[in-house]
Structure 1
């Protein structure tokens, strides 16, 4: 998961390395490269056999399902540019997922923050490639509205409130926001969605072209606007305003304010 940048990003201080990551690394160099909003960590392992990445999350973090992500990556790999799975597992402390490196660098690295329009266009083209390539009729995973509303209700029952939401939604209050989610827009086009199409989850080549997708733990069938709404939203968090049309033009679609507003609210609350 890659939420607003104040909630996730490259670690800036010391990061304790879980014992299993140390064991997996062996003699390889271990570098923490990402901490997400829920405390999950990603490490880069550099050694004589190349580069691997290990995602790790503490036990008892239900929002991150690394075995499920491994299953989704393995399913998507024949059709899409995603990291190959090398292994996964769990113990009393947490769970982990090991993937091979893929060519490309995060769309939010400093180079692309200096060229945000290039990054936004690459993200849009990458999403279109994903949506066109993955076969909906063969996908065993869903990310539809009813399933996600179940998670919204769980969070509300657990006591989550407006303080956890993005500023633009806090004014609604819990009752009004939940009522709005009961009136989803008609589906535009069903696709296999990325599930967390934030800018950091697209990798770019050195020439600014789309390279690969990462972090597909929520991949599943849904309206394509469930991805597009979040992808455009994250441009503002990572690069600043004014780039939505760049991404949508590269994808090949006109803006849709109603679907965008609905799926951003659903993403925020779920």
Structure 2
């Protein structure tokens, strides 16, 4: 694991990343071992690209690399994570989230791609290694062997490739990765961009809507209305909600 030489960094313990995260004032440092360098480099490049668009996010301050790993240093995004907003803020925040995700999906000229074939290949590797986290699965899916879940994904992949509606997607469109101004409830920034790339917009919509239900116990109607798609294809939502937890591990 890459080690920071400055002792003034404070560890950040929230989040589910297997990398080490630290904060010093208004900057964050995310450090990884050699095995995570490629993944962290992907996040660096995507954060730098997003910073050149109309959408807010962290700015890359520094990139450090050694035989032990690497460290990405970025500015802190102002505001609070979506998971930390009070219930009274949820309605307005949902509308802001819908507008922001639509803007992200409308960005042109993204140099990064996340084709479904590569995502399914990642899932196959995670399942092969027995690394699927059961906490990410529903009760129904936990009762099944992960290989059965993967078989279902593989069987349906050709259909979902044929109907894909491609857009610039966040790749992990969960509430902790969107920050909000606690007063105006406007989105102040997007974080954890390692999976950002051109993909089926449903891969984001599936995660965002299930997060609103699970984390906020909210009807996603205001979010969908602000996004501009009041009626969603449930089959596509369920496919991406099943695929996503198989890709972490």
Place the TM-score, normalised by the shorter chain, in its bin.
0.7 to 0.9
1:119 pairs with one of 72, 85, 93: 93
Segments of 4+ moved more than 6 angstroms: none
1:15 — aligned with what?
Answer: none
2:169 — aligned with what?
Answer: 193
Secondary structure of 1:218's counterpart equals coil
2:80 — aligned with what?
Answer: 105
Matched, 1:31 2:10: yes
Secondary structure of 1:115's counterpart equals helix
2:32 — aligned with what?
Answer: 57
Unpaired runs of 5+ in structure 2? none
TM-score (norm 2): 0.84
8 Å CA contact 1:203, 1:211 repeated in 2: yes
Please report the RMSD computed on the Cα atoms of aligned residues, expressed in angstroms.
2.5
2:22 pairs with one of 34, 43, 51: 43
Higher helix share: 2
TM-score (norm 1): 0.78
1:176 pairs with one of 137, 143, 148: 148
Unpaired runs of 5+ in structure 1? 1-17
Query: Would the alpha carbon gap of residues 33 and 160 (structure 1) be closer, same or farther in structure 2, given more than 3 Å must change?
Result: closer
8 Å CA contact 2:105, 2:167 repeated in 1: yes
Matched, 1:235 2:212: yes
In structure 1, distance between residues paired with 2:147 and 2:28: 41
Q: Which one is further off, 32-41 or 117-126? A: 32-41
Secondary structure of 2:195's counterpart equals coil
1:144 — aligned with what?
Answer: 115
2:50 — aligned with what?
Answer: 76
Aligned-pair CA distance for 1:56: 2.1
In structure 2, distance between residues paired with 1:249 and 1:176: 35
In structure 2, distance between residues paired with 1:113 and 1:91: 44
CA deviation profile, 1:99-133 (whole Å, cap 9, x unmatched): 12333321122x4355322333222221111111x
